[in-house]
Chains A and B, each alone.
Chain A
Amino acid sequence: MLKIKDLHASVEGKPILNGINLEVKTGEVHAIMGPNGSGKSTLASVIAGKEEYEVTKGEIILENEDIEELSAEERAHNGIFLSFQYPIEIPGVSVTNFIKTAINETRKAKGLGDMPAKDMLKMIREKSELLEIDRKFLSRSLNEGFSGGEKKRNEVFQMAMLEPKLAILDETDSGLDIDALRIVANGVNKLKSKDNAVIVITHYQRLLEYIVPDVVHVLYEGRIVKSGGKELAHELEEKGYDWIKEEVNA
């Protein structure tokens, strides 16, 4: 599904990613952990096509296609979805209309007509039920005045609507209460299939008990310095990152 080779990226001339190698196969769940400021969100943004970040070296390949030259919207049309660590507030645009526009623009890019209103409504109903989102919520301005947890749940709602091939969840668990975490994780698991893949960025082992990763990576100073099975997450939870930093610096 996704192959990242020796990826270097910088912002305003400052290098942040320093040679990332990562392969995520169809049907897999990968977790990326790592200390604050290590470059996790940057990696996610670079995959999603944020122009501010300059790829100075390496390549990102999605289903055998180098996506370097693709715009953010084209990447979305190709099936990449990023759940933002800090979702953006868009006053004046309701959740429903935003997602309708996103879906129909994606269809347009594929040469399809608008999704019939009836189907759209049905889908909105199903997905909002899956994530236990109150319908009234959907007529509010996107993310405006949403609580931290509501924003995250809304991100996953959008993911459910867009049915991406590769979903990157950047700290989707932070801000969620215990019940919400279960609901959202449950939602992600329902959307998971053998035909798609998920990358979860998290600081906490707890989420990984619900969304069980095939591989856990540790990102440090813009590099993946360690990869392992789900037990690596346990180890990190117990011991923190010092031992990894020591290994790297040794």
Chain B
Amino acid sequence: MDLKEKLVSSFLAFEESIDAHSPVHDIRNEAIKTFETQGFPTKKEEAWKYTSLNAILKHDYSLFPKQENAIEYKDIKEYFLDDIDTYKIIFIDGKYSSHLSQTTHDGIDVCLMSSALNKPKYRQIIENYFNKIATKDSLTSLNTAFSSEGAYIHIPKNKLVEKPIQIIHFSTGNESALMLQPRNLIVADENSEVQIFERHQSLTDNPVLTNSVTEIYTAKRAIVDYYKLQDDNSNASLIDNTFVNQKDQSHCLVHTFSFGGKLTRNNLNFYQNGERIDSTMKGITIIGDKQHVDHNTLVHHIEPNCESHQDYKGVFGDSSTGVFNGKIVVEKRAQKTNAFQSNNNILLSDKASINSKPQLEIFADDVKCSHGCTIGQLDESALFYMRSRGIPKKEAKALLMYAFSNNVLSSVRIPELKQRITNLIANKLGVNIGFDL
């Protein structure tokens, strides 16, 4: 039985096992039909031309691991932002781990999707927001059909959350292959502010496939600062589907750091439903081996006077491959839009490749839109310059690559995270220099 059949046939049992009277019962049923009709995307589809899921769909994934797994904090501490105080929503093999987590209902809700879906007090929010901006494509629908667990974050009006929130998914390798489908909902009410850090971490070499969906709603003047760290091991793959719906004057920033994993696909979609909105998407990709990272972004400028900024840097070594597909749509009424997009890449080897494609659909006439894409090698004359000053080749290369990606790092607003990423980059590049540029 292939994965699609397995998923479809296990849906009924799944639905019965959780609450069939749940408010999302109909939504799930609708979604599985969509998935059944569409199936997994193939390279025939324009949006998947350079990313094939074939290799990762062939495993016999277990969908609902039975066993609860306890992991000691000390064994996985390194994957946390552990030097600062944070809220934590932690999952092990898809199951909530209360002993590793630190949730709250004190003025804000930082808790679980499973409780939000079941408890009456969250019903209104679920009805208003759940699956309202997630699209009806096959992978998102698949997640929707099985959505039962994930992070639920609701920040009420005027609330500034002082501590960052960490959402971390561990997989233990207890199952020979595991598929996870976390579902997150983040609602930031008017004038609120929150910082979120998300990562997916497999602890063994057993294959893991994560198909995650996150919906983010930023109300008027809200600020959501979201960081995704993708540094998983070489048998773990991630399809991240993130949807952001923004209202007037809100800011949403998503930083994506892609340093590892077998296949990573980021579908990042912004919808600007208001004026003077700022949407920022930044990414650093540094990969090697046969890793593949695909950034597929969309900004939909619907109303006038908004801005969007995209800045993606990629460094590709060995036989790694990258894709950047950045779509900007400016509706006719979205006058005075400022939309910027840049994608710069360095190929470190002849076998590495990147496909970079901007797509602009502009229907308004008074807009500022710019996009630029570069693909190059490391600058040899810069390398000689640095080496002639005593900086060894490896360090010189690292410094150049670090400098190349520094624009993206500079906007990280959690200092500990910035330091962490800096160390990770140095580590990836195999050098030991404190870049404090």
Within 8 Å of chain A (Cβ to Cβ): is B390?
A: yes
Chain B residue, CB-CB nearest to A84: B385
Chain B proximity of A233: nearest CB distance (Å):
27
A97 at the binding interface (Cβ < 8 Å): yes
Q: Do A162 and B385 touch across chains, with their CB atoms under 8 A apart?
A: no
Interface size class of A (residues with CB under 8 A): 35 or more
B76 beta carbon closer than 8 Å to chain A: no
* Cβ of B409 to closest chain A Cβ, rounded Å: 10
> Residues of A at under 8 Å CB distance from B?
45, 48-52, 71-73, 75-77, 80-82, 84, 87-94, 97-99, 101-103, 105-106, 109, 141, 158, 162
Contact of B277 with A by CB under 8 A: no
Give the distance in Å from the alpha carbon of A105 to the alpha carbon of B431 in the complex: 12
Q: Are B403 and A102 in contact (CB under 8 A)?
A: no
What is B's interface to A at a CB cutoff of 8 Å?
379-382, 384-393, 395-396, 399-400, 402-404, 406-407, 433, 435-437
Q: A90-B382, A101-B433 are in contact. Are A158 and B389 (CB under 8 A)?
A: yes
Instruction: Pick from A45, A49, A105: contact of B391, CB below 8 A.
Output: A105
Contact (Cβ within 8 A) B407 A76: no
In the complex, the chain A residue whose C-beta lies closest to that of B379 is: A88
Q: What separation, in Å, do the CA atoms of A141 and B203 have in the docked complex? A: 40
Do A92 and B388 contact each other (CB < 8 Å), given the known contacts A101-B395, A101-B399, A105-B395? no
Q: List 11 A-B contacts (CB under 8 A).
A: A52-B384, A71-B393, A72-B388, A73-B390, A73-B392, A73-B396, A75-B388, A88-B381, A92-B404, A97-B435, A99-B389
Q: Is the CB of B437 within 8 A of A162?
A: no
How far is the CB of A155 from the nearest CB of chain B, in Å? 10
Selected from A49, A90, A91, A97, the residue in CB contact (under 8 A) with B436 is: A97
**Cα-based distance from A97 to B406 in the complex (angstroms):** 13
Chain A residues near B395 (CB-CB < 8 A): 101, 105
Q: Give chain A residues whose Cβ lies under 8 Å from the Cβ of B392.
A: 71, 73, 105, 109
Given contacts A84-B385, A90-B382, contact A76 B403 (CB under 8 A): no
Residues of chain B lying within 8 A (CB to CB) of residue A105: 390-392, 395, 433
Assembled-state Cα–Cα distance A162/B388 (Å):
11
Tell me whether A72 and B399 are in contact (CB under 8 A).
Answer: no
Complex CA gap A77/B385 in Å reads 14
Q: How far is the CB of B92 from chain A (nearest CB, A)?
A: 39
CB distance A93 to B403 under 8 Å?
A: yes
Question: Known: A91-B403, A92-B404. Is A73-B391 also a contact (CB below 8 A)?
Answer: yes
